[in-house]
Chains A and B, each alone.
Chain A
């Protein structure tokens, strides 16, 4: 029985109906970013359904508690404005849950009615609803613009706007905005920088927040997260590395234009080449040498690529996910002679298609690429031109089963496996893990399909 049996092979243009989206809406990205601030409670200024959905999505992905509050709009507030709701919420949150920071994001509801969150926050401050030493920051995150990645980017901006200061005294650190990646990736980025002796401020940082331990103690505000002190200090850093243009560039540019902290925008360091560029950028910005340890890890990655090359060569791959991830993955796959042929992101942005075309220019196969596309279209492409491997989030499992295609889960959300929160895919180590996953999927398939006489012991 096929699960997506109504998806026809014939592709018709659709201008209005989105089917099986390859994105979700802004606020969940903002909620995720806010969880990367230490002592922060995310707050959703809208009706409570959004907040429940966003918390559930993140919880299903991480198998961890995700706390967030909401203004719980009623019909009255939706017509006359949500100021009273937000003022009450701020008071209740600081009294009952005692966070250091409330990071407010909005929804299509409060954006459509035009609530001015900074003004409401200012009113809360004047009315003494924000205790001394506590903060409220905010970002405008209309769900009808962009995607969850846009929401992440907007909350990064909102937080920097709320905290970044320039005292004129350099802190000797490098800011890194890691993009919409896993806590495990953030940990790996910090490890690499530390291995080079580069002092960094990583923001946001969900490691230790969304991959925490079980100890018999529940901390609504876990030990992880970028501290307020660090966030303030971002204005005094040597420079900012923004990893992933969609998720991180705006925040980095803000620090550049407002506090004269120069920035460099890089791809997510997924795979050999993008990690090379990241490490090199770290070297240049900090004046530190690349250590033997890192060179060793790089060599191991190249070693495995060469060892297992026969299994990668000219294998066709379909890819779907967030633009920063997909761009980096496309480059990685291309660099190991695999061939991404169908590439979709749900997030809008013209640059995406151009960039993918550039990376895949030498592909021996025709390449389909679409920004603001959906998984229905991707599935149709796959039906017309089957692939050897599919890489995407959990929703891809329906296509994978129907088309009997090996699937590697990557991106957001992964609802049916663990690992993403504990093991990185960025850096050389992450590259190794990705290779292991790719090989495991491909070799398992070869084993499954091999005839009796061709069933091999060693690969």
Chain B
């Protein structure tokens, strides 16, 4: 299939027609399935149809999606520096998740543990598949213990582990007993669920079961929060920490950028859970509220305005004039630099268009930054988000868990006899809500999108090319697999997973970085070099007069 770049931009194509165009080439059954995952955002007030999401991938369609292991080991546990994470499987899974996500971590000295630069694997061979790998796994845990003496060892199952029946949890229990350190396992075989999403859920469950609340160490701090679903890609978490610290807000734990085992173990001592990436971590937020009485709120530190708004929301929750004052002072101090950068860049970005197809949260969050640049999001979607991430959490009761995701465990959580402590009285909560405060609420991406934009779930290679061919956005946001095919078409692709080795993009400093990077990308001279001079002017007449 060859798509020839068309220079002319079709500014206004009816999105409904566009949707039909996208589906035309598919076999009937595929077209029917895809039709449920492609929606036109209706005008404010009008109902946008139900979004088809979190359903199985169509075989052969060239999806952007990855697997459960990636969601569990790669995303959630990968960024924790002092746990030895052993992949139980053949070598690939451990190799590919070795330093390939840019979860930065900072330690004071060489004495602090940091295992993130290592890849640990049982490197299963044919014998292990035939006779089982439990013995090898035990031995591997033993060897890891003797070499590193870590605080904890975690074991991650890969595809064949479930099939051959290795019981990683029994091995973990036995080794925990034997070694006297925490050893726990994850049944995150790649085939579970339909995407990375199942892996998030499995990771949440096991961290909650095996680590959260296991250490009663009360950290000092007046306004104590957990930052959930922030993975410190390119230093995002560092920037958020800088801002929170400046405001006098103490971060007890981050799930899981720049995190340590002890942070998870003491996370139940915070007074508020703030959720950045709703998709990956809402399970822990919900469970911590039930078990420990810690309320959670959605925040967003992507975009300067969004950052300010989130800070104010946290201040409002703590209801302290001192904090409110401090937060306002920080915003007032930080904003001028941001504004200056925005004013510099905006004349060059105003009116341009963007498309965003990223994991399970950034396709929404980054629309904030594009708004600040005066850019319009004309299409967006997630790889693996659920309906609540698209439409808002109010649809959760309507969501039917289908056969492909039914086997992902739902933990039964009850209030903890010793530690349950509601941080707010029902009356305080009522007052806050009456003042417009929203607890445990995420309104989803669709409400924030411009009318008549296209929302597409689990976008594939074919649809990406079609979208670009027809709509010619000024920038396309996705990941490494999409980057170079899109750029071959002459459209810059901003990676919103690894930030093209840039960042941070969160917070105030991050916003400035982002403005500058987008300016560079959409205004780079390189995009004018695609045609050689002899292709632009193929006529030969000039040669006759050449002297």
A positions within 8 Å CB-CB of B: 1-6, 8, 12, 14-21, 23-28, 43, 46-50, 52-57, 59-60, 63-78, 85-86, 88-93, 95-98, 107-109, 112-113, 142-145, 147, 212, 214-221, 346, 376, 395, 398
Structural contact, B160 and A109, CB atoms closer than 8 A: yes
Give me 17 A-to-B residue pairs in the complex whose CB atoms sit less than 8 angstroms apart, sorted by A's number: A3-B117, A17-B144, A19-B121, A52-B64, A54-B92, A67-B485, A73-B190, A74-B194, A92-B27, A92-B30, A93-B60, A96-B25, A96-B462, A112-B159, A218-B5, A218-B489, A219-B2
Chain A neighbourhood of B483, CB < 8 A: 59
Say if the beta carbon of B341 comes within 8 Å of chain A: no
Cβ of B370 to closest chain A Cβ, rounded Å: 24
Cβ of B330 to closest chain A Cβ, rounded Å: 30
Chain B neighbourhood of A12, CB < 8 A: 143, 146-147
Structural contact, A64 and B63, CB atoms closer than 8 A: no
Partner of A50, one of B57, B92, B143, B194: B92
Tell me the complex Cα distance, A6–B193, Å: 36
Contacts A25-B90, A65-B485 hold; do A76 and B59 have CB atoms under 8 A apart?
no
Chain A neighbourhood of B96, CB < 8 A: 24, 53-54, 56-57
Closest B residue, CB atoms, query A96? B462
Partner of B404, one of A16, A70, A76, A214: A76
Tell me the complex Cα distance, A143–B126, Å: 9
Chain A neighbourhood of B192, CB < 8 A: 75
Contacts A17-B120, A21-B91 hold; do A96 and B61 have CB atoms under 8 A apart?
yes
Say if the beta carbon of B77 comes within 8 Å of chain A: no
Structural contact, A216 and B530, CB atoms closer than 8 A: yes
Structural contact, A109 and B190, CB atoms closer than 8 A: yes
Which of A8, A18, A65, A376 counts the most chain B CB atoms within 10 A?
A18
Which of A15, A16, A88, A89 counts the most chain B CB atoms within 10 A?
A16
Structural contact, A96 and B26, CB atoms closer than 8 A: yes
Tell me the complex Cα distance, A92–B485, Å: 20
Chain A neighbourhood of B480, CB < 8 A: 56, 59-60
Structural contact, A28 and B191, CB atoms closer than 8 A: no
Say if the beta carbon of B379 comes within 8 Å of chain A: no
Say if the beta carbon of B58 comes within 8 Å of chain A: yes
Say if the beta carbon of B465 comes within 8 Å of chain A: yes
Structural contact, B129 and A144, CB atoms closer than 8 A: yes
Chain A neighbourhood of B140, CB < 8 A: 16-17
Closest B residue, CB atoms, query A89? B60
Say if the beta carbon of B115 comes within 8 Å of chain A: yes
Q: A16-B137, A21-B121, A108-B160 are in contact. List 13 more A-B contacts (CB 8 A).
A: A5-B114, A6-B118, A16-B139, A18-B120, A48-B57, A49-B68, A49-B190, A53-B66, A53-B93, A56-B100, A96-B25, A144-B125, A218-B5
**Residue-wise interface mask of B (64-88) relative to A, using a CB-CB cutoff of 8 A (1 in contact, 0 not):** 1111111000000000000000100
Partner of A59, one of B26, B56, B70, B484: B484
Tell me the complex Cα distance, A398–B115, Å: 13
Closest A residue, CB atoms, query B158? A108
Chain B neighbourhood of A63, CB < 8 A: 484
**Residue-wise interface mask of B (180-196) relative to A, using a CB-CB cutoff of 8 A (1 in contact, 0 not):** 00000000011111110
Tell me the complex Cα distance, A78–B107, Å: 42
Chain A neighbourhood of B139, CB < 8 A: 15-17
Cβ of A330 to closest chain B Cβ, rounded Å: 23
B positions within 8 Å CB-CB of A: 1-5, 25-27, 30, 56-70, 86, 89-100, 107, 109-110, 113-115, 117-126, 128-129, 136-140, 142-144, 146-148, 158-160, 162-164, 189-195, 403-404, 407, 461-462, 465, 479-481, 483-490, 530-531
Chain A neighbourhood of B191, CB < 8 A: 47, 73-75, 77-78, 109
Chain B neighbourhood of A27, CB < 8 A: 92
Tell me the complex Cα distance, A75–B25, Å: 29
Tell me the complex Cα distance, A195–B86, Å: 51
Contacts A8-B147, A52-B67, A67-B62 hold; do A97 and B462 have CB atoms under 8 A apart?
yes
Contacts A25-B92, A59-B480 hold; do A18 and B123 have CB atoms under 8 A apart?
yes
Partner of A218, one of B67, B89, B147, B488: B488
Partner of A25, one of B63, B91, B107: B91
Cβ of A4 to closest chain B Cβ, rounded Å: 6
Chain B neighbourhood of A67, CB < 8 A: 62, 461, 485
Cβ of A417 to closest chain B Cβ, rounded Å: 13
Structural contact, B122 and A143, CB atoms closer than 8 A: no
Structural contact, A108 and B159, CB atoms closer than 8 A: yes
Which of A67, A71, A112 counts the most chain B CB atoms within 10 A?
A112
Closest 9 A-B residue pairs measured CB to CB? A49-B67, A89-B60, A25-B92, A16-B139, A89-B59, A92-B60, A65-B485, A53-B96, A18-B123
Which of B66, B86, B148 counts the most chain A CB atoms within 10 A?
B66
Tell me the complex Cα distance, A18–B92, Å: 12
Structural contact, A69 and B65, CB atoms closer than 8 A: no
Chain A neighbourhood of B488, CB < 8 A: 65, 212, 214-219
Contacts A74-B194, A95-B25 hold; do A215 and B530 have CB atoms under 8 A apart?
yes
